[in-house]
């Protein structure tokens, strides 16, 4: 493949990837057969918001005739796996709608390998902006002052990036009151944060797997993974990276209990051509943690859930600290015994106490703040 032009290298990566992902998605959906029909208390409707498929959960009980609060939810899966309609997310959104007496909009954004960045971001943005229109909110009996945007993992990435965009859109009259991010992935700048070092081989999300997801999402040649692993793309001699370095300097942003004795991995000389080839590595729509302070000051009240046994623990923790420094009210919900992805494991045959514990804490925060 080294003799092929770049676009053909990508095609070969895609073919390898698509087989891998199609097989994985098949396994997930087979494992996950759940009744998708409406339940007695919740009406479930599949519809389209500005060209993007969504699933809407509307509580039927408590017919008080009043306006309801609402959550736009964006599912995880490395921008490549899972569906809004799959059983685990269907179950989560139904429980949210029931527990909060809220309208939940779950976004069915397109996935890798069908599309790459920034299409997933555009899908999430388009669906959310459509929903935020006054006439659409009225149709669903939603209180325009009580809307949250939320997501887990790659969905947390999209939720944070969409929220940043909405907060600076001067044409919008209605914006989210809250954002709630569940073990979000927020940067591809430093793959040697303490949590990346400590948890590099923890199942579900190994460090190399997270880097693979990034290369697929950003349509980068998979040959770059080895360089990304050792932070060659953000070395001191890579001029484009300089202005971003302080924005995720974990030595200044993490508590000492997370830093332990880990050392930063900052290369003196690296490969500037990586960022030239894949400028999205430094694009805030892909990496919301890289946003400047002025953008962070505009963010709504925020909830971030992080787990100790997760390479992404420090992404969420650094974002919480930067938002807090920018004057945003932030709740960082830290779970010492939990792992990446645990919140979707709440129903048989994969019901873990970690899943129920994190889900209940998340829903409680929404209930108290939305």
Q: Distance (Å, rounded) from C-alpha 198 to C-alpha 33?
A: 35
Catalytic option among 10, 75, 233, 340: 340
- Bond into 6 cis (ω within 30): no
Asked if residues 232 and 274 have their Cβ atoms less than 8 Å apart, the reply is yes
Q: Give the position of tokens 């339940």.
A: 39
Task: Clarify whether 367 is annotated catalytic.
Answer: no
Q: Which two tokens stand for residue 209?
A: 């797997």
Distance CA 149, CA 174 (A): 13
Tell me, yes or no, if 233 is annotated catalytic: no
Q: How far apart are CA 333 and CA 339, in angstroms?
A: 13
Residue from 153, 192, 195, 222 carrying the catalytic annotation: 153
d(CA 370, CA 365): 8
Evaluate whether 153 touches 78 at the Cβ level (below 8 Å).
Answer: yes
87 and 32 Cβ atoms separated by less than 8 Å: yes
Instruction: Give the span between the Cα atoms of 74 and 131, in whole angstroms.
Output: 14
**The Cα angle at residue 109 between residues 108 and 111, in degrees rounded to 5:** 115
Question: Which one of 13, 310, 314, 315 is the catalytic residue?
Answer: 310
CA distance 116 to 22: 16
Annotated active-site residue 256? The verdict is no
Of the CA atoms within 13 Å of residue 113, those in its CB half-sphere come to 17
Q: Which residues are catalytic?
A: 153, 310, 340
């Amino acid at each position: 493949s080294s003799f092929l032009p770049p676009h053909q290298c990508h095609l070969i990566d895609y073919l390898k990837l698509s087989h891998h992902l199609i097989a994985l998605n098949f396994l997930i959906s087979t494992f996950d057969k759940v009744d998708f029909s409406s339940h007695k208390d919740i009406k479930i409707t599949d519809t389209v918001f500005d060209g993007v498929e969504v699933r809407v959960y509307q509580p039927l009980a408590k017919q008080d005739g009043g306006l309801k609060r609402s959550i736009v939810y964006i599912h995880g899966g490395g921008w490549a796996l899972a569906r809004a309609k799959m059983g685990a997310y269907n179950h989560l959104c139904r429980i949210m709608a029931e527990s909060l007496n809220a309208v939940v909009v779950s976004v069915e954004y397109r996935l890798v390998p069908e599309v790459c960045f920034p299409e997933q971001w555009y899908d999430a943005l388009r669906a959310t902006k459509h929903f935020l229109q006054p006439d659409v909110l009225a149709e669903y009996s939603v209180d325009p002052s009580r809307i949250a945007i939320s997501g887990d993992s790659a969905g947390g990435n999209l939720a944070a990036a969409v929220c940043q965009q909405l907060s600076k859109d001067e044409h919008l009259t209605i914006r989210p009151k809250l954002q709630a991010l569940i073990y979000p992935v927020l940067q591809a700048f430093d793959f040697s944060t303490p949590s990346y070092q400590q948890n590099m081989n923890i199942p579900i999300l190994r460090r190399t797997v997270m880097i693979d997801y990034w290369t697929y999402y950003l349509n980068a040649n998979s040959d770059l993974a080895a360089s990304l692993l050792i932070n060659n793309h953000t070395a001191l001699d890579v001029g484009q990276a300089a202005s971003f370095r302080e924005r995720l300097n974990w030595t200044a942003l993490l508590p000492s209990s997370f830093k332990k004795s880990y050392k930063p991995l900052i290369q003196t000389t690296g490969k500037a051509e990586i960022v030239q080839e894949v400028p999205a590595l430094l694009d805030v729509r892909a990496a919301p943690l890289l946003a400047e302070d002025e953008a962070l000051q505009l963010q709504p009240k925020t909830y971030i859930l992080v787990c100790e046994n997760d390479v992404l623990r420090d992404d969420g923790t650094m974002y919480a600290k930067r938002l807090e420094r920018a004057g945003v009210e932030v709740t960082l919900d830290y779970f010492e015994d939990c792992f990446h992805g645990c919140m979707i494991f709440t129903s048989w045959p994969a019901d873990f106490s970690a899943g129920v514990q994190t889900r209940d804490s998340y829903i409680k925060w929404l209930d108290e703040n939305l």
